[in-house]
Amino acid sequence: MDFNTIYSQIKENSLFGRYVTNNHIKPIIDTLSHQFKIETIGYSVQKKPIYSVKFGNGKTKILMWSQMHGNESTTTKAVFDLFNFLELNSEEAVFIKNNYTLLCIPILNPDGAELYTRENANQIDLNRDAVNLSQPESLLLKGIYNQFKPNFCYNLHDQRSIYAAGNTNNPATVSFLAPAYNEAREFNKVRILATSVIVAMNEELQKYIPNQVGRFDDSFNINCVGETFQSLNTPTILFEAGHFQNDYQREQTRKFIWIALIIGIKNSNDNEVVLTKIDNYLTIPQNEVLFNDFIYRKFKINANNTNLIISFAANYEEILTEGEVVFQAVCTEVDELIQNFGHQEYNGGEGIYTDDFENMPKIDQKVNFYLNKSIKFVNGLKEM
């Protein structure tokens, strides 16, 4: 399948950037064809509607949900790209329609989406509420799970730009996890089925983002939804949309998630368990925290009348401002030598660092400064 050509036809262009709420998706939901069954399945803490979109009439049932964390919207965009693909009535779309039943909750946490926060309106992380079920959104997801009885679950998230695919300078643009079902993190038939789907998705993604697919940490926490559903004998897959080079709006990453969704769906079935899939899964490099958004090396400062050569790092903070997510570069580390990689790196050549404060980078300070009093950096970036 020529994914690049198809994607140019089906990308849902009305969804763009990092801020995606009910107000953005409702007009699109209203235009979906009769092939899709739309329902309001419940309400959030602040009584915002939570929608489901159902497609297909096949035997294998897949439940997927996005924006369980309100500020993780990339997979929501990819889900609507998937809906547009299914509208094409192509051979692949018809195959999915006849063999699968998809039930998608595009935004599980509409309050958090509107506020652009990880938690819901009660400041509870829904992905740590799978056992307590203390929140209406958690109860809703568990109720849909019990009613729908899926054969597979897709838990759709974003991850920060700090992750590398293994011990490399390759960003983890997409990461996956087959969550553990017990403390020992053993592989039973259910978990192996999840790994087999991940292996298929990874093999396809290597054609587009070679060496930029990671494997998320599988530490066991039964309070997480993935571990809970896996322990209930439903193969569950965690999707993590991460950083692609110079793509802070995640417009490239959404395409790779869309590709993964199609490959994942077509490989989500109850085939015979193949033990070699475990080895193929474990060869996917585990995510490592090796990146900063900015690294500045070899800058000269004067501290206590002594000239020092330092390096410093900065990461973007995402701030919701008037309905738009603004990226604010903030200093996170100052040291003689920084081991991390930077998505953007600058070598000061032992030139002089100055700023409008104390002429020294400081933790949590906005990254606005000068090199040799002539080259200006604003919000982390060198002015051209």
Model pLDDT, residue 274: 60
Model pLDDT, residue 276: 65
What are the extents of the domains in the chain?
3-289, 292-382
Average pLDDT, stretch 323-346?
97
Comparison of pLDDT for 277 and 336, the residue scoring more: 336
Given a cut of 70, whether residue 62 has pLDDT beyond it is yes
φ, ψ dihedrals at 96, nearest 5°: -65, -45
**Euclidean distance between CA atoms 233 and 181, whole angstroms:** 8
- For residue 269, what are the contacts with CB-CB under 8 A and spacing of at least 6? 60, 151
Average pLDDT, stretch 45-70?
98
Model pLDDT, residue 305: 87
Q: State the pLDDT confidence band at 272, using cuts at 50, 70 and 90.
A: low
Given a cut of 90, whether residue 83 has pLDDT beyond it is yes
Instruction: Label residue 61 left, alpha or beta by phi (over 0 means left) and psi (-120 to 50 means alpha).
Output: beta
Model pLDDT, residue 275: 60
Class of the CATH domain delimited by 292-382: mainly beta
Model pLDDT, residue 27: 98
Q: State the pLDDT confidence band at 298, using cuts at 50, 70 and 90.
A: very high
**Euclidean distance between CA atoms 127 and 68, whole angstroms:** 7
For 212-232, b/e burial (b = at least 16 CB within 10 A) is bbbbbeeeeeeebbbbbbbbe
Given a cut of 70, whether residue 348 has pLDDT beyond it is yes
Model pLDDT, residue 271: 64
Instruction: Label residue 25 left, alpha or beta by phi (over 0 means left) and psi (-120 to 50 means alpha).
Output: alpha
Model pLDDT, residue 196: 94
Given a cut of 80, whether residue 169 has pLDDT beyond it is yes
Q: Which long-range contacts (CB under 8 A, 24 or more apart) does 5-12 make?
A: 6/85, 6/88, 7/81, 7/255, 7/258, 7/259, 9/88, 10/81, 10/84, 10/85, 10/87, 10/88, 11/81, 11/84, 11/255, 12/77, 12/80, 12/81, 12/83, 12/84
User: In which residue are the tokens 């919000």 written?
Assistant: 379
Digit-coded pLDDT (tens) for 120-134? 999 999 999 999 999
Digit-coded pLDDT (tens) for 199-236? 999 999 999 999 999 999 999 999 999 999 999 999 99
Query: Nearest CA to 141 among 44, 5, 245?
Result: 44
Average pLDDT, stretch 66-79?
98
CATH of domain 3-289: 3.40.630.10
φ, ψ dihedrals at 3, nearest 5°: -65, -40
Digit-coded pLDDT (tens) for 182-204? 999 999 999 999 999 999 999 99
Average pLDDT, stretch 59-82?
98
Query: Regarding beta strands 163-165 and 213-215, do their DSSP bridges make them parallel or antiparallel, or are they unpaired?
Result: unpaired
CA 360 to chain CA mean position, Å: 34
Given a cut of 70, whether residue 253 has pLDDT beyond it is yes
Digit-coded pLDDT (tens) for 3-51? 999 999 999 999 999 999 999 999 999 999 999 999 999 999 999 999 9
**Euclidean distance between CA atoms 198 and 281, whole angstroms:** 7
The pTM of the full predicted model, rounded to 2 decimals, is 0.97
